Structure 1
Amino acid sequence: MKKLASLLAVALALGIAAEAPAQTLDRIRATGVVTLGVRDSSLPMSYVLGSDQAVGFQVDICQRIVAAIKRQLNLQKLEVRYQVVTSQNRVPLVRNGAVDLECGSTTNNQARQQDVAFTLTTYIEEVRMAVRANSGIRSIRDLEGRTVVATTGTTSVQHLRRNSRATGLKFNEILGKDHAESFLILESGKADAWVIDAGLLNASIANARNPADFAVVGEVLNTEPLAIMLSKDDAPLKALADQTLRDMMRSGEMKALWNKWYAEPIPPRNVRLNMAPPAALQKLWQDPNDLPMESYAATR
């Protein structure tokens, strides 16, 4: 039975000192269980409906990889368990083996590659900011003296501070424990802007009580390749996952999943995000890679 792991399980997993076994597929074969790390509110990439249903673009991709694992290992049954992860604990949970595939909204960067590995890039995101539509904020420079909210464990505000237009800019920063709380802080007026991936901003606004009250504005602060995390130095699992992704891109299944989550109505409110795949992502579907953020920035 598919289920979401408890917070106690998270605490125990974080306390494990041992590294994950090098060959995750061997462990999956022996236990008949694969554990997917999911987010609770990263719409439409990875989020939880009710108490026991994980859904989203990345979750669907991970399900395809799970199906490939089941076929390769010739298993009659493969139990899928879901483990809710946060921006703070997602890397440790993959590193110590509590999560086999992290199906969230995680940027592939060089710092994280010290601890984990990444599949081929599944999404290319632009970091921007959401504001109240009547705030008058339209550019980074408009943030002078304002308050910016960021989700704990993300790097969005660092990108803001590094932008040349932010030189000498003074603003206050507060943290939300997760994306849902960050948007609530913006919605309640406690912050003037929320900085994060544009897709997440659009999804949060679309699901707000009054979507017209908010807008995504300003310069692109960073371009980030998102991918699925897995155990470091686990070549067999990465090879299987990457081949699954290549097949999905080649067959058009990846584009179909994009339409499902970014163009069609999505739960829980059946809203449409009406987002076309970015040109950079369409190019990636033709020529996949697993380059980290720093390499992508250097070549764009």
Structure 2
Amino acid sequence: MKTKPLLTSAFALATLSLVTGTSYGQGSQPTLAKIESTNLIAVGHRETSVPFSYVDTNNNVVGFSQDLCNKVIDAVKLKTKHPDLRVRFIPVTSQNRIPLVQNGTIDLECGVTTNLTSRQNQVAFSDTFFVATTRLLTRKDSGIKDFPDLVGKTVVTNQGTTSERILRKMNEEKKMNMNIISAKDYGEGRATLETGRAVAYMMDDVLLAGTRSLTAKPSDWALVGTPQSSEAYGFMMRKDDSEFKKLVDDAMSQVMRSPEIKTLYDKWFTKPVPPKNINFEFPMSGTMQKLFAEPNDKAFE
């Protein structure tokens, strides 16, 4: 399946919905009915979240999340009897991803969003497809080994994420006097770190490994620190649409319980990954093996 995104901004689509009055938010037309009537599914993706969801040099949306998302799209094609179903790929950020799902601009968000009980009041989550922990990325010679070393330092994280909430709470409760920079995405976070405006970058360990692979010299950087939380990644969709959620979960569970999941996992985490063909060396953990054998949509908090 080709996954080249249509170059239409999420802001423009949301504005168009407001102007035309076209919106498929919560409580209105069911997702599958909307997709069937329009012959179009709108998929939210990230632009720089290597190796889960990002845009490659050919302007295609690729990654582990997208490979799983493609399985869901195939299931939607079968369910709606639209083999020629059009796919509109819409880039999202940590700040706008939930509103764009809620207002119907996006039918399915296939990125790296953590399933939290607080977020379940706003959106629904698919079965979990990855579990990460929050740590730090820093230069090997920075002197930063763990979170207590950040006292009085400047740290970058991504706005609207679990990491930002944890970092700000830590700063307040432990009086660490950190200067916290909130980046809009991983591209901005990486630039902030590489240019020396921050000594460390706090986010999910596997995404920091992806960020490291995109730096000018990956061998200069190290993942450090005691994990501060476990993150359960799931795809987002609108609430109270049990038919669509069941289709998404069934499609994901089918591949996660099959031998194909190891092939997909190894493709992105234990083999060279574009654009720099760097191996993440992130083998499947026992936690991940259990998750794939027994898929569920439980939040960790």
| TM-score, reference length from structure 1 | 0.92
Q: Does 1:259 align with 2:262?
A: no
Give the 3-state SS of the residue equivalent to 2:226 in structure 1.
Answer: strand
Q: Is 1:19 aligned to 2:25, yes or no?
A: yes
Alignment of 1:1-300 (within 5 A): 2-7=4-9, 8-12=11-15, 15=18, 19-20=25-26, 21-50=28-57, 52-162=59-169, 167-294=174-301
Question: Could you say if the C-alpha distance between residues 68 and 240 of structure 1 is closer, same or farther in structure 2, counting changes exceeding 3 Å?
Answer: same
* Pairwise CA distance, 1:154: 1.5
| Larger CA deviation: 231-240 vs 49-58 | 49-58
Among the aligned pairs, what percent are the same residue?
Answer: 38
Q: 1:59 to 1:243 in 2, by over 3 A?
A: same
Residue 51 and residue 229 in structure 1: after superposition, are their counterparts in 2 closer, same or farther (change >3 A)? same
What are structure 1's unaligned runs of at least 5 residues?
295-300
Contact 1:150-1:196 within 8 A present in 2 as well: yes
Quote how far apart the aligned CAs of 1:293 are. Answer: 2.5
> After the TM superposition, which segments of 4 or more aligned residues of structure 1 sit over 3 Å from their partners?
13-18, 160-164
Following superposition, the deviation at residue 18 of structure 1 comes to 6.2
Provide structure 2 residue ranges, at least 5 long, that are not aligned to the other structure: none
Give TM-score, length-normalised by structure 2. Answer: 0.92
Distance across 2 between alignment mates of 1:266 and 1:209: 16
Conserved? CA contact 1:160–1:221, under 8 Å: no
Moved more, 196-205 or 74-83: 74-83
Q: Write the distance in 1 (CA, Å) between the matches of 2:211 and 2:157.
A: 14
- The letter for the 1-side match of 2:92 is V
1:78 positional shift: 0.7
SS at match of 1:52: coil
Q: Distance in 2 between matches of 1:196 and 1:217?
A: 11
Q: How many residues align?
A: 294
DSSP 3-state at the match of 2:228: strand
SS at match of 1:35: strand
